[in-house]
Amino acid sequence: MKQALVLGIVVAVAAAPWLPAAAQTPDPTAAEFDKFREIMEQDNPAELFEVKGEELWRARRGPKNASLERCDLGLGPGVVQGAYAQMPRYFADAGRVMDAEARIVHCMVTLQGFKFEELAKQPFSSLVRTPDPVSLVTYVAAQSRGMKIAAPRGHPKERAAYETGKAIYFYRAGAFDFSCASCHGVDGKRIRTQPLPNFTKPEQAIRAVQGWPGYRMTGGVMHSLQWRLNDCFRQQRFPEPGYTSETLSALLTYLTVNANGHVYRGPGIKR
């Protein structure tokens, strides 16, 4: 019901006569969209996935018939409150830095006995299917709503992940010579009418974190940052990064640390 309502609004907006005119001057377009998003966020479809994620978190599932309630998201086994705002972080039991979804998948494998290869087969949402880790990360993210982003920098591996992520961000290669910074390296640019945040700056880096996981109106599905970065690399004309790989955690460390100190508003809505 809620989803049908949302779809109706999306269609109405897509057909709205003011959009093409506003597209000539991008800032009014962005402003209009922000207004629209504010209204949408009061009744965000992401909440449906948050509820689903909480059920999944508590349910005994997988070959080991275990719940995720013993999963350590960095603040101790079972502590979900505030954990998302303090990731990516180094996890000694995995020997690497992990972002939230990487950690959740790690727990699904180690605690519940799911096979990573199975989870990585179709990790992104479609109209007919939302993978469990996407709902789970939405639930976990929601438990950091209103908290300050505080990705830790204390462990040497966390500092190395930041620097490695930064180097990946600026690494130009591939068929079109693109890096992340090709689109997100200077202020005030846009692709078509889509504004391009410069994530190297703290006040803009929050836009890499804010609204994710997000209910994306293009396609009408719930997506996490794992999907977002995967699609960036597709458009960067790179090969495909592995799901929940260290590369993505390192890149997310760079982006999140740059956004440290800003308040996270919880799962959101994306264009």
Partner 1 sequence: MRLASAGVLAIAAAFLASCATPQRDYRPDALAMMKRDFHARGIAGVDRLNEDGVQAACNKHADDPPQAVADKLQKEQLAGINLPADGKLLGDWKSGEKIAQSGRGMMWSDKGGDGGSCYNCHQIGPRESSFGTVGPSLYQFAKLRGYGADIQRYVYGKIYNAKAYSLCSQMPRFGHVGALTEGQMKDLTALLMDPASPVNQ
Q: Does residue 17 touch partner 1 according to CB under 8 A?
A: no
Query: Minimum distance from CB of 205 to partner 1 (Å)?
Result: 18
Residues 208 and 260: their CA atoms lie apart, in Å, by 11
Q: How far is CA 259 from CA 120, 180, 183, 208, in A?
A: 28, 17, 18, 8
Q: Does residue 188 touch partner 1 according to CB under 8 A?
A: yes
Q: Does residue 94 touch partner 1 according to CB under 8 A?
A: no
Nearer to partner 1, 110 or 245 (CB): 245
Query: Minimum distance from CB of 225 to partner 1 (Å)?
Result: 16
Q: Does residue 255 touch partner 1 according to CB under 8 A?
A: no
Q: How far is CA 175 from CA 44, 172, 228, in A?
A: 38, 10, 20
Q: Which of 161, 168, 143, 137 is nearest to 88 (CA)?
A: 161
Nearer to partner 1, 183 or 217 (CB): 183
Q: Does residue 163 touch partner 1 according to CB under 8 A?
A: yes
**In sequence order, what are the beta bridge partners of 215?**
222, 269
Q: Does residue 167 touch partner 1 according to CB under 8 A?
A: yes
Query: Minimum distance from CB of 81 to partner 1 (Å)?
Result: 31
**In terms of C-beta density within 10 A (0-12 exposed, 13-18 middle, 19 or more buried), how is residue 250 classed?**
buried
Are 32 and 18 in contact, with CB atoms under 8 Å apart?
A: yes
Angle in degrees, CA 53, 54, 55, rounded to 5: 90
Q: Contact region for partner 1 (CB under 8 A) — 105-113, 139-147, 185-193, 197-205?
A: 185-193
Residue corresponding to tokens 């209910």: 215
Residues 56 and 107: their CA atoms lie apart, in Å, by 12
Query: Minimum distance from CB of 260 to partner 1 (Å)?
Result: 19
Nearer to partner 1, 68 or 229 (CB): 229
Residue corresponding to tokens 């990585």: 120
Q: Does residue 182 touch partner 1 according to CB under 8 A?
A: yes
**Considering all CA atoms of the chain, what is the largest pairwise distance in Å, rounded to the nearest integer?**
57
Query: Minimum distance from CB of 196 to partner 1 (Å)?
Result: 8
Q: Which of 77, 75, 254, 235 is nearest to 163 (CA)?
A: 254
Q: Which of residues 127-146 bind partner 1 (CB under 8 A)?
A: none
The residue count for binding partner 1 (CB under 8 A) is 42
Candidate list 189, 202, 203, 219; residue touching partner 1; CB under 8 A: 189
Q: Which of residues 215-254 bind partner 1 (CB under 8 A)?
A: 234-235, 237-242, 245-248, 250
Query: Minimum distance from CB of 261 to partner 1 (Å)?
Result: 24
Catalytic site positions: 232
Q: How far is CA 1 from CA 41, 63, 162, 218, in A?
A: 16, 34, 42, 19
What residues line the site for partner 1 (CB under 8 A)?
20, 23-24, 160, 163-168, 170-179, 182-183, 188-193, 196, 234-235, 237-242, 245-248, 250
